[in-house]
Amino acid sequence: MAEISAKLVKELRDRTGLGMMECKKALQEANGDIETAIDNLRKSGQAKAAKKAGNIAADGAIIIAQNGNKALLLEVNCQTDFVAKDAGFTEFANKVAELALVNNTTDVAAIAGLAYTDGQTVEEARVELVQKIGENIQVRRAEIIEGNNLATYRHGIRIGVVVSYENGAEATGKSVAMQVAAFNPIAVDETSVPADILAREKDIIEAKAKESGKPDAVVEKMITGGLQKYLNEVTLVNQPYVMDNDKKVGDVLKSEGMTVVTFKRLEVGEGIEKKQEDFAAEVAAAQASAAK
């Protein structure tokens, strides 16, 4: 059997859009002949999945799997909300989440190689589902959270939250998870806001304050006040409590002796640029091309 180089696998991936393991397997079966491998993939129907790979998958679902003091958040994407609610898609996403949790991995490439069924990997099951449903489907990302006490909350199928906390009531933990889902804080408190985010926000506030043309002493107060307002909005303990807006989350935690250690929140499609169809522009471009 011919040795299959990483370069050859990459070339087949670029030409078909299929996963690394599918490409390597196809090349092994074709004894390293890339054209034969492509022909075989077309014959097996995997080429259909390859064509779908270029489509933007910005919809989908967030899955939460939990086992004791460990929970996993998983985002699996598809192209439409209709498919996101499909039973086959849901079954696949739930099983992948459980497998990733059992194997304690958040690495998408490693998840793709896990055994889905006897003789079939997660990636092979994904490709099979793409062929069946007719949409691009991708396992995008995963997060694992561990803690003595975990609270989980899923808002529909699009937002998932896991909160790790110490002490306090289980019901309050659930409410805090709902809080994170609704208000999307970036940190538990001011001390845990990433320095780069804080510096960037301060620069923006400072620039706006200086544009006011007011005296330096006033500008300094505007910067301090603006930064505090920002921190109140993005830190969990300073936000209005979702169950009682007259209280802050920090006040509720203090009254119960509860401490939020950390939290993770995933929302479907974050950071994915969804293609915007402009049919008027498309028609105009077609007419212009025909006129040449």
The set of long-range contacts for 210-215, using a CB threshold of 8 Å and a minimum separation of 24, is none
Band the pLDDT of 283: cuts 50, 70, 90.
Answer: very low
What is the spatial distance between Cα 13 and Cα 244, in angstroms, rounded to a whole number? Answer: 52
Q: Does domain 170-267 have CATH number 3.40.50?
A: no
Residues 6 or more apart from 94 whose CB is under 8 A from it? 63, 65
Instruction: Encode pLDDT of 130-181 as tens digits.
Output: 888 888 899 999 999 999 999 999 999 999 999 999 999 999 999 999 999 9
Q: Are 70 and 101 contacting, i.e. CB atoms less than 8 angstroms apart?
A: yes
Q: Comparing 59-149 with 170-267, is the CATH topology the same?
A: yes
Phi, psi of 191 (to 5 degrees): -70, -20
pLDDT of 248 > 90? The answer is yes
Band the pLDDT of 20: cuts 50, 70, 90.
Answer: confident
Topology annotation, domain 59-149: Tetrahydropterin Synthase; Chain A (3.30.479)
Token pair, residue 144, equals 């694992």
Residues 6 or more apart from 4 whose CB is under 8 A from it? 24, 27, 28, 32
What is the spatial distance between Cα 249 and Cα 233, in angstroms, rounded to a whole number? Answer: 12
Provide the pLDDT for residue 290: 52
What is the spatial distance between Cα 83 and Cα 69, in angstroms, rounded to a whole number? Answer: 32
Look at residue 237 and give its three-state secondary structure. helix
Instruction: Encode pLDDT of 75-85 as tens digits.
Output: 999 989 999 99
Provide the pLDDT for residue 174: 96
**Which class would CATH give 6-45?**
mainly alpha
Q: Are 25 and 121 contacting, i.e. CB atoms less than 8 angstroms apart?
A: no
Burial of 6 (0-12, 13-18, 19+ CB in 10 A): exposed
pLDDT of 92 > 60? The answer is yes
Domain spans, the chain = 6-45, 59-149, 170-267
What is the spatial distance between Cα 26 and Cα 58, in angstroms, rounded to a whole number? Answer: 29
Look at residue 45 and give its three-state secondary structure. coil
Q: Are 59 and 267 contacting, i.e. CB atoms less than 8 angstroms apart?
A: no
Q: Which residue has the higher pLDDT, 26 or 277?
A: 26
What's 1's DSSP letter?
-
